[in-house]
Chain A
Amino acid sequence: MEVSDLLISYKFDQNLSYPEIVNNLQKGDTLVIIEDFPLSDNDFQSFINRIGVSIKENRNNNGESIFDVKIFKQNNFFTSIANSNLAFPLHTDCADLDSIPNCIGLLCIEPASESQGTNNFMFLNNLIKQLSKNEIKELQNKKWKFRNHWRSILTSVNKSYKICYDRVTMESFSKMNKTEIEELNNLDKLFKSVSFKIKLKKGDLILFRNDLMLHGRDEIDINSNRLIKRIRFNVN
């Protein structure tokens, strides 16, 4: 399948249809990309307000809903993996929080040069096709520790599946044995094999389901000015 088959594309101020965008996010089997999106926080927030309910966090800009994903250090250390130049393996955002938002919007303000910082995505649908019934059952049954929460990687909701995976959180906050590490290694390989890459351009806004796909990014040069604005939100 071509990457273009997995994308629903719009141009801002040309063919935007809010109900259609909401519908696509509800179905969750495509990514929504909007080109030529205005680069201001206000426009970004207003747009999200029309399609869902955004999540406020203290660490966001002014404690509201927009977070700047850029290289940022304090005490000589990065303030998160998102704020580092490191490659970020495929994951679910907020996998360790009480309530996991079901959608994410990433607005590219400044891309990294060349292929650096390219985003990686994996649809849960494509993963399920690669798994046997037993493997699906195992992923539903085994609970992993996501900091303060024990969760399975797959859950079944109304005859469909949802995914929760963040190896950095899972491995950092719990002691794992060799077999479990091997399980995660195999899962990472499998996820990577069904993933695809999208390099965002300046003014691209990409919207996707956080519970029906995994996302990540490639490494970035430490001096890069890459800036992605992020809003986490819920669509009903």
Chain B
Amino acid sequence: MNIEFLTELNYDNQEPPQTIIIDIDENSSIGELLSKIHEITKIPTYSELNWDGNIEKISCRYYFKSGTEYEEYQMIRDLDQKICDFPKNGVNGELSLFIDGSVGLVN
């Protein structure tokens, strides 16, 4: 299936989303799909925070495009949810995802 994805959501500097083709059954979980995307794109699954001698790995957060506006994404909380349950709001009717590994890591 075709997947559209972004790794940065910047309203002032709207980068066009990337598109990749992933061989996966839409009855699989969104978590499986995201694992494949990580595997292909080499986007790390976590970022590291360091403070006062502490080091903590923080997972990137996943969002699906829930509407038609540029910034209309909602967080994916249940990675066991089926791919087919998510709306396809990409430019060409693909599933559109946003993988965020930088904003909101702290609070």
Q: Say if A and B assemble together.
A: yes
A-side residues, CB < 8 A to B, are 57-60, 62-63, 72-82, 84, 86, 88-89, 91, 93-94, 96, 147, 166-172, 184-185, 188
Docked-complex contact B107 and A79, CB < 8 angstroms = no
The 10 A-B residue pairs with the shortest CB-CB distance, nearest first, are A77-B59, A172-B49, A75-B59, A74-B59, A171-B51, A82-B107, A168-B51, A75-B45, A63-B74, A59-B75
Chain A residues near B26 (CB, 8 Å)?
none
Chain B residues in contact with chain A, CB under 8 A?
9, 45-46, 48-52, 54, 56-63, 66, 71-75, 77, 79, 98, 100, 102-107
Q: A73-B59, A74-B59, A81-B106 are in contact. Are A63 and B73 (CB under 8 A)?
A: yes
Q: Could you tell me the distance in whole angstroms from the C-beta of A90 to the nearest C-beta in chain B? A: 12
Distance of B53 from chain A, by nearest CB (Å): 9
Kindly report which residue of chain B lies nearest to residue A63, judged by CB atoms: B74
A77 contacts across to B, CB distance below 8 A: 45-46, 57-59
User: Does the CB pair A78–B56 fall under 8 Å?
Assistant: yes
Residue of A nearest to B44 (CB): A75
- A residues within 8 A CB of B75? 58-60, 63
Nearest Cβ distance between residue B69 and chain A, in whole angstroms?
11
Q: Are B74 and A167 in contact (CB under 8 A)?
A: no
A78-B58 contact in complex given A58-B71, A63-B73, C-beta closer than 8 Å:
yes
Cα separation A147 to B9 with both chains bound (whole Å): 16
Q: Which of A73, A88, A185 contacts B107 (CB 8 A)?
A: A88
- The answer to whether A63 and B66 touch (CB under 8 A), given A81-B56, A82-B106, A169-B106, is yes
| Contact residues in A for B62 (Cβ distance below 8 Å) | 74
Total A-B contacts with CB atoms under 8 angstroms apart: 89
Asked whether, in the complex, the Cβ of A80 is within 8 Å of the Cβ of B105, the reply is yes
> Whole-angstrom distance between the alpha carbons of A74 and B76 in the complex?
10
> Can you show 25 pairs from A to B with CB atoms below 8 A apart?
A57-B104, A58-B98, A59-B63, A60-B75, A63-B72, A63-B73, A74-B61, A74-B62, A75-B45, A75-B46, A75-B59, A77-B45, A77-B58, A79-B58, A80-B104, A81-B49, A81-B58, A81-B107, A86-B56, A89-B51, A89-B52, A172-B49, A172-B51, A184-B52, A188-B52
Contact: A74 with B104, CB < 8 Å? no
Residue of A nearest to B79 (CB): A74
Indicate which residue in A58, A76, A166, A168 contacts B63 across the interface (CB closer than 8 Å).
A58
A169 to B57, CA, bound (A): 13
B74 and A79 form a contact (CB under 8 A): no
Taking CB atoms, residues of chain A closer than 8 Å to B104 are 57, 59, 80
Q: Is the CB of B73 within 8 A of A58?
A: yes
Of listed A74, A79, A91, A170, residue having the most chain B CB within 10 A: A74
Asked, given contacts A58-B74, A58-B75, A59-B104, whether A167 binds B59 with beta carbons under 8 Å apart, the answer is no
- Kindly list 5 other residue pairs between chains A and B, CB separation below 8 angstroms, not including A59-B75, A80-B58, A188-B52: A59-B61, A63-B75, A75-B60, A81-B105, A89-B52
